[in-house]
């Protein structure tokens, strides 16, 4: 069974001239939202067998979608922090959109698709696992998924008004990115992200001092231009 894990704000560098993104697909030694702890060495065997210097079978995708290939990592290795990658994003329409979203600060999360090979159950009642070896299939650039959204909404140290403001600013950034999108499909994908963020605003709406302005994405998006699946 394929599993997925996301992390936020793990971009090290954006070279939009060369189209290269560097960052982390996964980090070590923290309890994630799935109650798992990824340990150093968990990726060593899979990189040795399938990484860029071996069979080169690990793909860089967008949102874990095998039909949305961004490229293959040029560099993939473990360091003291986690699973480090460098990828030269292909100059497809999607690739150009994704590079623009990175530059606009709309995208700041990555995720992995993997199979668990070896693990130790640390707390059966909580389902807390220590992952010691995994088989990596892909690393993904991802939009703000619901699990990460819930995590941000409940950030310690922020009151409800501050949380509302943070999410509202995120929506504003995405709406600006929609206007700069290279394709209608890219605009559509960003709009899906806005819809998820608005779900979080609904819970915080009673504390808001300003009304939520509903903006129609139809002014940016032409559904007829989407590819037929």
Q: Burial code of 109-118, b = ≥16 C-beta within 10 A, e = fewer?
A: bbbbbbebee
Residue where one domain finishes, among candidates 142, 173, 200: 142
pLDDT above 70 for 12: yes
pLDDT at 156: 38
Spatial separation of the C-alpha atoms in residues 151 and 141, rounded to whole Å: 18
Q: Model-level pTM?
A: 0.70
Domain hosting 179: range is 146-221
- Residue 154 within any structural domain of the chain: yes
Whether the CB-CB separation of 89 and 95 falls below 8 Å is answered with yes
Question: What DSSP string describes 28-96?
Answer: SSSB-TTSEEEPTTTTHHHHHHHSTTTT---EEEETTEEEEEEE-EEEEEE-SSEEEEEEE---SHHHH
pLDDT for residue 53:
96
**Which residues in 45-65 are b (16+ Cβ under 10 Å) and which e?**
ebbeebbbeeeeebbbbbebe
Please give the distance of CA 49 from its chain centroid, rounded to a whole number.
25
Distance, CA of 58 to CA of 52 (rounded, Å): 8
Q: Which of 116, 142, 168 is the last residue of a domain?
A: 142
Confidence of residue 132 (pLDDT cuts 50, 70, 90): very high
Asked if residue 130 and residue 23 are part of one domain, the reply reads yes
Clarify whether residues 70 and 152 are in a common domain. Answer: no
Candidates 31, 2, 206; CA nearest to 116 is 2
Instruction: Indicate if 40 and 124 belong to the same structural domain.
Output: yes
The reply to whether 227 falls in a domain is no
Asked whether the predicted pLDDT for residue 129 surpasses 90, the reply is: yes
Bridge partners (DSSP) of residue 144 are none
**What is the arithmetic mean of pLDDT over 36-59?**
97
- Average pLDDT of the residues in 82-109: 89
Q: Which of 60, 35, 12 has the alpha carbon at shortest distance from 151?
A: 35
Q: Helices (H), strands (E): how many in the chain?
A: 5, 10
Q: Look at residue 207 and tell me if it is in a domain.
A: yes
* pLDDT of 58: 97
130, 200: one domain? no
Are 116 and 199 members of one domain? no
Q: What is the pLDDT of residue 55?
A: 96
- 226 located within any domain: no
Instruction: Summarize pLDDT for 163-211 with one digit per residue, the tens.
Output: 677 778 778 877 877 877 767 777 777 777 777 677 767 766 655 445 5
Alpha-carbon distance of 104 to 170, in angstroms, equals 11
Q: Count how many domains the chain has.
A: 2
- Structural domain ending residue among the three candidates 120, 142, 164: 142
């Amino acid at each position: 069974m394929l599993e997925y894990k996301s992390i936020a704000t793990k971009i090290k560098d954006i070279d939009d001239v060369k189209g290269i993104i560097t960052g982390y697909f996964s980090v070590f030694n923290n309890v994630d939202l799935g109650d798992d702890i990824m340990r150093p060495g968990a990726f060593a065997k899979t990189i040795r067998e399938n990484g860029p210097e071996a069979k080169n079978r690990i793909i860089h995708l967008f949102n874990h979608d095998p039909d949305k290939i961004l490229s293959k990592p040029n560099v993939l290795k473990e360091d003291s922090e986690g699973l480090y990658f460098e990828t030269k994003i292909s100059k497809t329409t999607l690739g150009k959109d994704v590079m623009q979203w990175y530059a606009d600060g709309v995208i700041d999360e990555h995720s992995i698709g993997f199979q668990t090979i070896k693990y130790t159950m640390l707390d059966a009642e909580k389902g807390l696992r220590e992952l010691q070896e995994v088989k990596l299939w892909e690393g993904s650039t991802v939009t703000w998924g619901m699990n990460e959204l819930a995590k941000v909404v409940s950030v310690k140290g922020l009151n409800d008004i501050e949380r509302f403001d943070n999410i509202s600013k995120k929506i504003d950034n995405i709406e600006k990115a929609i206007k700069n999108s290279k394709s209608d499909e890219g605009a559509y994908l960003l709009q899906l992200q806005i819809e998820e963020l608005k779900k979080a605003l609904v819970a915080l709406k009673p504390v808001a001092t300003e009304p939520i302005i509903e903006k129609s994405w139809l002014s940016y998006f032409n559904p007829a231009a989407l590819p037929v699946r």
